[in-house]
């Protein structure tokens, strides 16, 4: 069978690598893919948001299955359109992808169903939002309602910062239409956990819990990014918390979506804060997270394509999903300057990385005149799987030494806070 994977980042590279383990798949087309994906799939120059182009391509090439990975095409209804053309897919339809596409929708869903989350209000008017923060408690969190490339969240420490964030979203249109409505919510403290889970709308199966590192600089300083690295498992996610999440968050979310006629099928991502009052939802994503997927998929022992088809056919409960008990570290190599301005077009050389269980996932790379050059802020993710987290971290950093490009930048402390947590486990 020939399949398509829509998207072109490190996440999609990790997905394609995993799908390659299935012998029923013949050809994989990546739309648009990237410089590294080109080594294991045929890249096609169709953007992930060109829904007409994707559907036309799938029909013309007799595609048997489609995996839609990024948020934009999901929210725009790519899966609905592909289904309309008779093509089975992995990913939610637009009416379920709204769980990520509108933060106001997600917050109301949680409120109505007693799913723990930060207290909040939704605003359509600049004046009312500013009035609200005038009497608010700081820090306070301001979020654009719609998709904003992971940049729509501001944690404001003062009234002035809050007003500026509201103005830039609602008046200056920094996020376009996505920011004309905003959510203002309580600031939560605790430890963050990302849980990616397969669901077919009936059952839900979480993958190994992970920890993203969102800030650009060591010590969780600097600007928010798409993610500078991830480790798994996340030591803060104890079995007790996992059970609480399943009962109070995961299953209630699946049921609440069904009750609204918005059955979610695909990968549902829970961004959680483990607070002193228990786990609370910070955000839902309607897709695999990035870079978390690069850390977590290599720990999936069960065939990914088997799971994806079972999700589509609503028979996930028949599949026994097995997870490795090893540890994973994904280190993101970025272009210096990311998430602001950075250079593109620098040649990348990758030396001998032949250690077992080390993966090089390309993100912002492209092929040019037979060479691989940088084309994005996050360039490559290097993942190492080892028996312990400490070994995985060392192996990922060692392998990264063999990848060179001008202005390469990475954090030096990926996984360190998780290691300290493991050392202090008694105190957790
Ligand atoms: P998001 O784009 O929703 O993932 O938010 C980006 C980051 O902002 C999260 O990973 C958190 O670190 C932080 N954040 C979002 N909402 C809150 C909140 N209510 N309290 C504390 N931190 C938050
Ligand atoms: N790493 C967070 C996300 O994918 O949204």
> How far is ligand 1, taken at its centre, from the CA of residue 152, in Å?
10
Asked if residue 118 has its Cβ within 6 Å of ligand 1, the reply is: yes
Task: Tell me the ligand closest to 150's alpha carbon.
Answer: 1
Asked if residue 188 has its Cβ within 6 Å of ligand 1, the reply is: yes
The DSSP result for 178-225, as a single string, is GGSSEEEEEPP-SEEEEEEEEE-SS-EEE---BEE--EEEGGGEEEE-
Q: What is d(CA 182, CA 128) in angstroms, rounded to the nearest whole number?
A: 11
- Residue whose Cα lies nearest atom 11 of ligand 1: it is 282
Q: What is d(CA 269, CA 120) in angstroms, rounded to the nearest whole number?
A: 21
- Which tens digits make up the pLDDT trace of 106-133? 999 999 999 999 999 999 999 999 999 9
Are the CB atoms for 393 and 329 separated by under 8 Å? yes
Token match 């648009």: residue?
32
Q: What is the DSSP letter of 38?
A: G
The number of the ligand 1 atom at minimal distance from the alpha carbon of 185 is 19
> How far is ligand 1, taken at its centre, from the CA of residue 155, in Å?
8
Are the CB atoms for 150 and 226 separated by under 8 Å? yes
Are the CB atoms for 183 and 159 separated by under 8 Å? no
Asked if residue 159 has its Cβ within 6 Å of ligand 1, the reply is: no
The DSSP result for 318-342, as a single string, is GS---B--SEEEEEEEEETTTTS--
User: pLDDT tens digits for the chain (428 residues)?
Assistant: 999 999 999 999 999 999 999 999 999 999 999 999 999 999 999 999 999 999 999 999 999 999 999 999 999 999 999 999 999 999 999 999 999 999 999 999 999 999 999 999 999 999 999 999 998 899 999 999 998 877 788 999 999 999 999 999 999 888 888 778 999 999 999 999 999 999 999 999 999 999 999 999 999 999 889 999 999 999 999 999 999 999 999 999 999 999 999 999 999 999 999 999 999 999 999 999 999 999 999 999 999 999 999 999 999 999 999 999 999 999 999 999 999 999 999 999 999 998 999 999 999 999 999 999 999 999 999 999 999 999 999 999 999 999 999 999 999 999 999 999 999 886 55
Q: Both ends of the chain: CA-CA distance in Å? A: 48
């Amino acid at each position: 069978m020939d399949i398509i994977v829509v998207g072109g980042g490190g996440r999609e590279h990790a997905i394609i690598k995993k799908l390659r383990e299935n012998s029923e798949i013949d050809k994989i087309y990546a739309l648009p893919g990237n410089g590294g994906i080109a080594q294991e799939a045929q890249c096609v120059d169709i953007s992930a948001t060109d829904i007409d182009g994707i559907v036309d391509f799938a029909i013309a090439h007799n595609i048997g299955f489609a995996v839609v990975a990024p948020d934009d095409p999901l929210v725009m209804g790519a899966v609905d359109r592909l289904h309309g053309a008779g093509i089975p897919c992995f990913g939610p339809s637009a009416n379920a992808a709204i769980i990520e596409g509108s933060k106001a929708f997600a917050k109301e869903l949680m409120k109505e169903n007693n799913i723990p989350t930060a207290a909040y209000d939704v605003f359509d008017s600049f004046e009312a939002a500013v009035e609200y923060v005038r009497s608010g408690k700081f820090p306070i969190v301001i979020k654009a309602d719609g998709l904003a490339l992971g940049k729509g969240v501001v944690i404001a420490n003062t009234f002035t910062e809050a007003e500026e964030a509201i103005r830039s979203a609602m008046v200056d249109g920094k996020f376009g239409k996505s920011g004309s409505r905003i959510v203002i919510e309580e600031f939560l403290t605790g430890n963050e956990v990302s849980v990616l889970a397969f669901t077919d709308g009936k059952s839900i199966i979480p993958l190994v819990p992970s920890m993203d590192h969102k800030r650009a600089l060591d010590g969780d300083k600097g600007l928010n990014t798409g993610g500078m690295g991830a480790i798994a498992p996340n030591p803060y996610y104890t079995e007790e918390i996992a059970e609480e999440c399943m009962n109070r968050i995961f299953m209630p979310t699946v049921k609440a979506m069904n009750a609204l006629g918005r059955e979610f099928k695909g990968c549902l991502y829970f961004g959680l804060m483990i607070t002193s009052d228990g786990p609370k939802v910070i955000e839902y994503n309607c897709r695999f997270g990035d870079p978390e997927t690069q850390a977590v998929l290599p720990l999936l022992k069960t065939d990914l394509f088997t799971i994806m088809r079972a999700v589509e056919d609503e028979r996930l409960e028949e599949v026994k999903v097995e997870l490795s008990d090893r540890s994973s570290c994904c280190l993101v190599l970025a272009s210096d300057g990311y998430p602001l301005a950075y250079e593109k077009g620098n040649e990348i050389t990758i030396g001998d990385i032949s250690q077992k269980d080390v993966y090089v996932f390309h993100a912002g790379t492209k092929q040019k005149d037979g060479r691989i050059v940088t084309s994005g802020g996050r360039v490559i993710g290097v993942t190492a799987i080892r028996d312990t987290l400490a070994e995985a971290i060392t192996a990922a950093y060692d392998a990264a030494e063999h990848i060179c490009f001008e202005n390469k930048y990475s954090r030096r402390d990926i996984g360190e806070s998780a290691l300290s947590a493991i050392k202090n486990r008694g105190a957790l």
